[in-house]
Chains A and B, each alone.
Chain A
Amino acid sequence: MADKATFRIWRGGNGTGHFVDYATAISPGMVVLDAVHGIQAADANDMAVRWNCKAGKCGSCSAEINGKPRLMCMTRLNTLDLSVPVTVEPMKTFPHVRDLVTDVSWNYRVKTKIQKFKPRKPDAPDGTWRVQQADVDRPQEFRKCIECFLCQDVCHVLRDHNLHEEFIGPRFLIYTAQLEMNPLDTGDRLKDLKDRDGIGYCNITKCCTKVCPEEIKITDNAIIPLKERVVDEFFDPLGGLFKIIR
């Protein structure tokens, strides 16, 4: 590995800005976030960047590295071509704040609209619940989500078509899925998924699954089963007939 590498980092605020090249020393095992921190400490004290855990657990340091949505803390330099500058940009799907920081507050607003967890009454003698591990494996997969919002960033419905008002995006489809698939939950979010959350907009290109740092099978395990439930509930002619007769 070379001793120095160049990072081409987006600088500026509120949508205006430009790339600035910074050369910085590199060492074995480094990740992009280390390089950004090194540059910040030495050459650009005021550079805006979010981070917390530096171990892929908190989902704060999302960015686009060489054009790909990734966590800076989990992108090792030895996986990148350092003979050319490494570009680091803010996520494009959210309003820009400054440098590598974007305004992700839309995500937090979306979540508040989704019906909250509504458990059935405790049914075990000790006033708690009995739940088998096999019945929670699937919702546990979705609960691995660290809310990095990379799936929202890459989703073309949001990124290219700006349908933020009509589509909740992959993050909140898996959020809904873990609620719907929690064996204790008694809520019903299918009508919301169809009418308000825009599940029909997803045309299962699986881009979200590809960028998920937690390797959650967002499309196959969450979105497609939810789509099937919505179809069963609202678009199945035989089932509909059955419901009328009943």
Chain B
Amino acid sequence: MAEYPIHEYDVLVVGAGGAGLRAAIEAANAGCKTGVITKSLLGKAHTVMAEGGMAAAMGNVDDRDNWRVHFADTMRGGQYLNHCRMAELHAKEAPARVYELEAWGAIFDRTPDGRILQRNFGGHRYPRLAHVGDRTGLEMIRTLQDHAIHQGIDVYAEHTIVILLMDGNRCVGAFGYDRERGRFKIFHAKAVVLATGGVGRAFQVTSNSWEYTADGQALAYNAGAALLDMEFVQFHPTGMVWPPSVKGILVTEGVRGEGGVLRNKDGKRFMFDDIPDNYKSSTADNPEEGWRYTQGDKSARRPPELLTRDHVARCITREVKAGRGSPHGGVFLDIAWIKEKIPNSIEHIKKKLPSMYHQFKQLADLDITKEPMEVGPTTHYIMGGIQVDGDTQMSSVDGLFAAGECAAGLHGANRLGGNSLSDLLVFGKRAGEYAAKFAKERWAGKLDQAQVDDAAKIALAPFERGAAGENPFAVQSELQNAMQGLVGIVRLENEMQQAIEKVSALRARAANAGITGHREYNTGWHTAIDLDNMLSISEIIALAAIERKESRGGHFRDDYPDKSAEWAKYNLRVTKGGDGRPKVERVPVVPLTDEMKLVIEENK
């Protein structure tokens, strides 16, 4: 039996993006000894890539905005599968979380009277996104990071968790390794917060980095926690499509918020052709009105380019399939056209969208102030995740909390842009607060050496197989192809069945993965370990997507292209069955209170 160092904490946070850092700050401020595990270096987590902004109904730009409108927008965007209590808390608490960031050193763009500026975004009725140009995520993570380092939190940079440690149905810590030396460590904690982000690396075209391998979802699932809404994956409508090496990199929705328009190869603004009924009353029916909306005209309705992401992504896919796409299989996103409207458009675009300008100039040799971009859908986000209590963020496992992308509920069937950064803050804080409370009320649970030894043995097995084993990168690449092609933006039952068979075959190959070299910073080894999480969750996504026989939000089925009233009543929950296989079942959607119904009605 091997001996591993044991680190003791009241609260252990796995993940150091917006949600993880916010949770850790809250737990530490509650007087808890707090540790944070981060797969990358501190400040590099996925939050850093967020561009557009964080949604909070502060009403700085349009004083008609308030939490009720934000709540109604979020529910409509999520097609009413959202956990309504979370949507309520989110809408009410987001403004305070934004002001708190300012008090910690964030410097947002300003209104003419010196308040925090807010911008338009898809699905939000009023300008609502606090932002810093198009690098809001960087501002947010850096502010949290720079604040956190003075709160007495221990940070384990470049560490990866392999399993959660359990004492019956109680989570009592985690077991993982440091990348640099490849040594195992035990983290013994009274409460654990998962804030590990999403699953995008399971898809080929993605805006997500190597870290997004479904770790939190898989850790929780394997520990017995329930997952929810796993069929709902968000394909962001605008990723780069050319050149090949940058395919999938995000192009912020902020481009459209600032007046950018989508056109097909014939120059037609195709978004006007397909406006869903429940958005007709709030969407412009001519280009002029849409333009006025983006420039702050309160009497104008939003342009159809700012409809929800699921809808825009499908419209783009339709144009491409119908042969009306751009040369490299996307459509055109044009911000340069605003020169017809604004005299100093070049400087204006550079000021409003500096990193987009930079990104296209450097990676695609294209000047967005002069030419249209080519864009197409890219795997961006998963609405589903670990099922949590709306107030406390505790999962169905005692002492295990989840916040941010790895948790489910807030976004329902589709997330509005800008609701993620605010989600991280609102529910990161709550998870930290309630994890701290839990830790103070409970004794530390017991560690079980057998769990640790099993996990270590499995983790090290690829070294024994060596070069004779499967190349883990090859297995990962095949999984990405399968998920992209078979469980992507447009889904069919038989294709998803094929995906499940493929995942099963890949699982056998992954179990035979081999690695050369030693344990120090061995990226092949890290990939081999990550494969298991990705395969488990990919299968669960496909199973849930097969089960939901309708189209709603991010989940579009060619064989069931319409929304069904029956399916509107259920979320899908996935747990590990007694046979070790995923069990998918319908659970009723969290019912709206009478007040919520009223709020939704008054904002129709």
Contact = CB atoms under 8 A, between A and B. Distances in A.
Partners in one complex: yes
Interface of A: 13, 27-31, 34, 40-42, 45-60, 74, 76, 97-99, 101, 103-105, 108, 111-112, 116-117, 119, 122, 124, 127-133, 136, 139-140, 143-144, 146-147, 178-179, 182, 184-185
Contact of B363 (A74, A108, A127, A184): A74
B41 A41 contact: no
Nearest to B358: A56
Given A41-B477, A60-B40, A46 B525 contact: yes
Interface of B: 40-46, 48-49, 99, 102-105, 107, 109-110, 113-116, 132-133, 135, 137-139, 142, 146-147, 149-150, 157, 180, 209-211, 242-246, 249-250, 354-355, 358-359, 362-364, 471-474, 477, 515-518, 520-525, 527
A218 B474 CA distance: 42
A117 B104 contact: yes
Nearest to B520: A98
Nearest to A107: B41
Given A40-B473, A56-B362, A129-B114, 14 more contacts: A13-B521, A28-B244, A29-B246, A40-B523, A45-B473, A48-B523, A55-B359, A57-B49, A58-B48, A58-B49, A101-B180, A131-B114, A140-B109, A147-B43
Given A29-B363, A74-B363, A49 B523 contact: yes
A21 B142 CA distance: 38
Contact of A146 (B138, B354, B359, B364): B138
A217 B285 CA distance: 45
30 contacts: A28-B243, A30-B243, A31-B363, A40-B473, A40-B523, A45-B527, A46-B515, A46-B524, A47-B523, A48-B520, A49-B523, A52-B211, A53-B48, A53-B209, A55-B49, A55-B363, A98-B520, A98-B521, A101-B180, A108-B42, A116-B105, A128-B116, A129-B102, A133-B110, A136-B110, A140-B133, A143-B138, A144-B138, A146-B48, A146-B138
Interface of A is mostly: loop
Contacts of A13: 520-521
Contact of B149 (A112, A124, A182): A112
Residue among A30, A40, A54, A74 having the largest count of chain B Cβ atoms under 10 Å: A54
A60 B364 contact: no
The 4 A-B pairs of least Cβ separation, nearest first, read A29-B243, A45-B524, A46-B517, A130-B114
B49 A27 contact: no
Contact of A56 (B180, B359, B518): B359
Contacts of B45: 52
Contacts of B46: 52
B363 A41 contact: no
B113 A130 contact: yes
Contact of B107 (A47, A76, A136): A136
A180 B358 CA distance: 28
Nearest to A75: B362
B115 A130 contact: yes
Nearest to A128: B99
A144 B355 CA distance: 10
Nearest to B107: A136
Contacts of A105: 157
Given A34-B245, A182-B105, A76 B113 contact: no
Contacts of A139: 107
A148 to B, nearest CB: 10
A237 B202 CA distance: 65
B218 to A, nearest CB: 20
Nearest to B113: A130
A179 B113 contact: no
Contact of A57 (B48, B150, B477): B48
A122 B110 CA distance: 16
Contact of B103 (A42, A45, A119): A119
Contacts of B364: 29
A25 B202 CA distance: 24
A41 B473 contact: yes
